[in-house]
Structure 1
């Protein structure tokens, strides 16, 4: 009975965690650069990364050669990167060095489609205009040797900023929900005893699931969860 209960708990917990994965990422955690950049920046451009620059102009997003936090660095297609690439600027360190957060760049532990947070990009263009860059490559734990041509930066508009803010709240809620699910699973497993009631186990899990759902719903609505103080 105890073994069967543990198996049931593992299956239900896995289903719960898969349900918490954001839209655009598979259950295996494989991200493409475009949906990830769109989600994190709030810039609502679709299609291959190589088309983002031309679309930005027609969609009335401002563009330029100066990095700003929250903007999207748009890479030109090359023979090795035919679809181009997009990455979100997370921090501007100097006029020639930034940090980006992006997806599907480095091969990490043998897998593609990974997210890399706050990795270094250096402007190596002769004119200092960010038209040529080198990017951190995780397998060598340093900047890669390849020089990549870029179009420049696509800047967030007011709507993009608002969308990114909502995404951030939901992401925080999801992180809290995952931690809560892990804690609940651990507590339930630790309290299992031979002869325990399966219905009691499911009841505890249902209570945890309701709590997690309420947490995410409150974040999506931009309101504090019931019983939580409003932040100032």
Structure 2
């Protein structure tokens, strides 16, 4: 009986190990942004903006490859950082980041919209998996930290799109699928 019990326990343990590969990682936003953007800053996200001064160019215009630096706020005491994966328009970008909708998870190409009154990217709304669209909260942004060689704009020009002619269903479905992609490296 004891041998059979040990065999069952060993089988259960092997199933558990197979479900959680050794390469799985729990990502925080700062190490993930550093890894994918080339901006070599360490520490909590709310310190990145100050640390970038004199080391990296900073500004208020989104550029592909730049890091969007979210300021610390009541809801985000440690701030947040995310890489701009695509500039869609003057007031919309796609972000790739970690630890936003799901603790430790990675989201690729999710929508962020400038909702600041001046159109200066000082306040944004970001796509949130919990509601499958832009979140209801707005977040303060310090600006963008540009990695060496960050392009001024996407290489290929973006097509003009009339929003009335585009059905939001495929976009929402694609964003939902992107939000549930786990990074296993």
TM-score, scaled to structure 2: 0.70
**Structure 2 stretches lacking a partner, 5+ long:** 1-6, 152-183
Give 1:59-98 correspondences, 5 Å limit.
Answer: 60-98=55-93
Q: Deviations over 1:166-188 (max 9, x none)?
A: xxxxxxxxxxxx9xxxxxxxxxx
Structure of higher CA gyration radius: 1
Offset at 1:113? 1.2
- Please identify which structure carries the higher helix content: 1
Residues in 1 aligned to 2:84 and 2:108: alpha-carbon distance in whole angstroms: 10
Deviating 4+ runs (over 4 angstroms) = none
Give 1:181-192 correspondences, 5 Å limit.
Answer: none
Aligned residues: 143
Offset at 1:103? 0.6
- How well do the aligned residues superpose, as a CA RMSD in angstroms? 2.7
Q: Deviations over 1:87-110 (max 9, x none)?
A: 010010001000001011113xxx
Tell whether 2:137 aligns with 1:141.
Answer: no
Residues in 1 aligned to 2:93 and 2:47: alpha-carbon distance in whole angstroms: 23
Q: Which residue of 2 aligns with 1:113?
A: 104
Give 1:25-44 correspondences, 5 Å limit.
Answer: 27=24, 29-44=25-40
Residues in 2 aligned to 1:35 and 1:150: alpha-carbon distance in whole angstroms: 19
State the secondary structure of the residue aligned to 1:50: helix
Give 1:99-110 correspondences, 5 Å limit.
Answer: 99-107=94-102
Offset at 1:145? 1.1
Tell me which of the two structures has the higher relative contact order, counting C-alpha pairs closer than 8 angstroms and 6 or more residues apart.
2
Offset at 1:73? 0.2
Residues in 2 aligned to 1:103 and 1:117: alpha-carbon distance in whole angstroms: 9
Tell whether 2:39 aligns with 1:48.
Answer: no
**Structure 1 stretches lacking a partner, 5+ long:** 22-26, 162-177, 179-232
Offset at 1:42? 1.1
Offset at 1:155? 0.3
Residues in 1 aligned to 2:31 and 2:118: alpha-carbon distance in whole angstroms: 31
